[in-house]
Amino acid sequence: MRKHILTTAAVAAAIAGAFAGEPSFGTLTDNKDGQTYKTVKIGTQTWMAENINYQTKGGSWCYDNKADNCKKYGRLYDWMTAKTVCPKGWKLPDTADWNRLIVSVGGDKKAGKMLEAKSGWYGKKGNGTDDFGFSALPGGYRRNDGNFYGVGNGGGWWTATEYGSECAYYRNMDYLNDNVYEGYDNKSTGFSARCVKDSK
């Protein structure tokens, strides 16, 4: 698992957009299984305000294989599966979508703190301020050996952007830092998935 901090200046130069104002909330019902999710508009984008919990025939898991963890954190998906789970009209965000979100909330050096939920993270100092209603929770991840790691400490979210034939980019937040990191990992790893409304 490799990660680094985005260069905010480079992102800002590539993305024209003002900082987000007050978030605007809504709901989304997934016609595939009838589940309803909170949504939030941040800047010019509308995001799910919780991780998707759509059960697939393969390629997805509850942390520690416990259903209660799916209810709290959503499911963990391998990359190929994550690309298929968003409801119609929504999509798995690519790196540009994540970059736009991070710029909208003030840049990568503080975006993690501002996007993380106010509770559920390890230790009192690990929780975020959730200024924009994104409510990121530390759902951990799953390795392809079947072992789970990191719940409560951090979370990873797949992007739709590949890194070579075997890996893809993801975003990471953890309780030790205020940043949102960009990294890449093997497509078989299980990470969380958020969907963003498709503007096309």
Q: State how many domains the chain has.
A: 1
The residue behind tokens 């919990």 is: 53
- Can you give the residue range of the structural domain that contains 152? 2-16+23-197
Pairing, β 167-174 against β 181-186: antiparallel
Nearest to 48 by CA among 78, 95, 81, 86: 86
Q: What is the pTM of this model?
A: 0.89
The tens place of each residue's pLDDT in the chain, 200 residues long, gives 555 544 444 344 333 344 556 778 999 999 999 999 999 999 999 999 999 999 999 999 999 999 999 999 999 999 999 999 999 999 999 999 999 999 999 998 899 999 999 999 998 789 999 999 999 999 999 999 999 999 999 999 999 999 999 999 999 999 999 999 999 999 999 999 999 999 86
